[in-house]
Amino acid sequence: MAMTLLEKIIASHSKSSSVHPGEIIDIEIDIRVARDFGGANVVKNIRDHGLSINNPSKTLFTFDCNPTGSDQKYAVNQHICRIFARENGIRVYDIDAGIGTHILIDQGYVYPGATAVSTDSHANILGAIGAFGQGMGDMDIAAAWHNGKIWFKVPPSVRIDLKGDLPPKVSSKDFILNLLKVFGANSLLGFSVELFGTCIDKMSIDDRITVSSMGTEMGAIIILFPPSEAIMDFCRQRSKTKFTPVFADEDASYERRIEIDVSEFVPMVSRPGEPHDTVDIATVQGQKIDSAFIGSCTNGRMSDMIKAAVLLKDKKVAPGVILKIVPATDEIWKRCLDEGLLDTFKRAGALVSNAGCAGCAAGQVGQNGQGEITISTGNRNFPGKQGKGNVYLASPEVVTASAIAGHITTPEKLPALPSVFDTPIKNMDTAKPASKPKTGISKPLVIEGRIWFIPKDNIDTDMIFHNRYLAITDLKEMGQYTFDNLKGFENLAGNVSPGDIVVAGKNFGSGSSRQQAVDCFISLGIQVIIAESFGSIYERNAINAALPIISCKSINDLELISGDTIKINLLTGEIINLRNKKTTAGEPFSEVQSEIYQKGSLLG
């Protein structure tokens, strides 16, 4: 049977010689990783259920979210992980190492055709080398550490053929921002995406990492690159395992085949609030900025550091503008030191920190304040993700040029003199006090309850449960923070009652892999969540936590309003609006979902 690249990787790690979309199978995982904020919950799950570690040599901790140890709760969680690692012979890439997914590639833990899971929602970055990487929640990772494998639903695959050559001034970051313009946040939701074309063959490892890193923002399970000879040589020099690269069969069956002419791509930025809200940079040319950030798993590679250094040579960051630079790994940081880049950065007036995720993990430099305008090389600019300010996303070249100019611009349009501030900063509002947590309830097979209708698409996990609360591990405390970062619904947690139901639009739970974005609803006693579609990691987390979720593309047929009472049959998917007697059908529970639901959780 002819298979796509992802199908061949999955089949080679299962008991099946071939697999097909929709099939649920167990996959052997070559490397299993927990980060610092998720790691403590993984440890808690393992200890609470008396689980063992399947293979410590294939198990890692990576402390990349708060590598400065600047937060007390992070410090406690990191120490919990260190103690557990000592007890079980697990390697820790500690606060001096850098971003875990980059370490997996650079240190040879993954290679073309390998499989890996991590509490990092950008584990699909491994598609850059033709490997399968998947971000998963704390419960999934605990199960993978114990069993060495995890269940997975084979996704349908999309093939994108890129025709033509990229224009000279279009970077790999511009490339993925152009794709986001085409596909948005959810048209590829749940798909594995494979890229082909001469421009793809020419992409370096750093370029591919930039592109694959933002597959999550497109809703894709993964963006996969067929490994080139240069990529295979890179991996062979580092790999701890001999490997044979995997490629899609020529006659593989794809759900969709799409052709795009890349010669029409232009330099782009994402406007604040949504990574897929991408526009030609000319649209925002001249926008005054307060700060700039270069780094993250998307653009913290050595080539990104070099691009920044070339532009900053003998120049200064604009007055009043803060430029923060964070290399992805310690190896890259040391190269910056050895090759004089750190000196260039410091002479220009930039702040350089030790390697890590930086601002988008809410645990290191890169955060901005309310009212602050930032231009960033990160992959996300959801409200509150990198702080309370507004964040534009762009390439390292554009971010560096903007930091020098004091406003958004390109290297070709650097002004003779930088922009300066001439307006006062308004006073900032104080945060509202949190509401009291609520407790969970039992979960019958037929559910009836009052709904809270939230007619919004792409509600991400930062809107559901903001990253400033990630150190919370007590479920009883989580409910009060639900939706406090979703505009218009900040007070919902204080108004819901146990037994209520949440109904939303497309791509609910996109973004981060955090389990708390599921657990907060359990804390509140929410019986079920219905949405037109779910982010793929969020869907797994909810299923594994035995929180009923139902995908229903025809939910609008019920003509719902908040306060309606509906009845749902989890086994058939039937949904009835008891107010107007209208009915529709959602997706019924799968066998796996039913089994986990009946057990009470993946770990039982």
- Pair of tokens at residue 140: 């999934």
Distance CA 124, CA 128 (A): 8
- With a cut of 60, say whether residue 27 has pLDDT above it: yes
Q: Which amino acid is at 94?
A: D
Domain boundaries, the chain: 5-264, 268-413, 446-599
CATH annotation of 268-413: 3.30.499.10
CA distance 270 to 268: 7
Query: For residue 142, is pLDDT > 50?
Result: yes
Q: Which two tokens stand for residue 63?
A: 């402390």
Distance between CA atoms of residues 181 and 192, nearest Å: 18
Dihedral (C-alpha) 351, 354, 360, 366: value to the nearest 10 degrees? -10
Tens of pLDDT, residues 222-254: 999 999 999 999 999 999 899 999 999 999 999
pLDDT band at residue 45 using 50, 70 and 90 as cut-offs: very high
pLDDT band at 3 (very low <50, low <70, confident <90, very high): very high
Looking at every residue in the chain, the average pLDDT score rounds to: 93
pLDDT of residue 36: 85
pLDDT for 434 beyond 50 = no
- Is 5-264 CATH 3.30.499.10? yes
Domains 5-264 and 268-413 share a fold: yes
The rounded radius of gyration (Å) of the Cα atoms in the chain is 23
Write the pLDDT tens digit of every residue in 458-488: 999 999 999 888 878 889 999 999 999 999 9
- In this structure, how many other beta carbons lie within 10 angstroms of the beta carbon of residue 420? 11
pLDDT in tens, 204-217: 999 999 999 999 99
Which residue in this structure is represented by tokens 């797994």?
540
The letter for the amino acid at 74 is: Y
pLDDT tens digits, residue range 6-21?
999 999 999 999 999 9
The pLDDT value recorded for residue 441 is: 43
Does 272 score more than 60 pLDDT? yes
pLDDT on residue 23: 96
| Stretch 286-300: mean pLDDT | 95
Q: Which residue has the higher pLDDT, 370 or 55?
A: 55
- Helix (H, G, I), strand (E, B), or coil: what is residue 514? coil
Report the chain's terminal Cα–Cα distance, integer Å: 36
Q: What CATH number does the domain located at 446-599 have?
A: 3.20.19.10
Which contiguous run of DSSP H or E holds residue 597?
helix 591-599
- The pTM for the full model equals 0.85
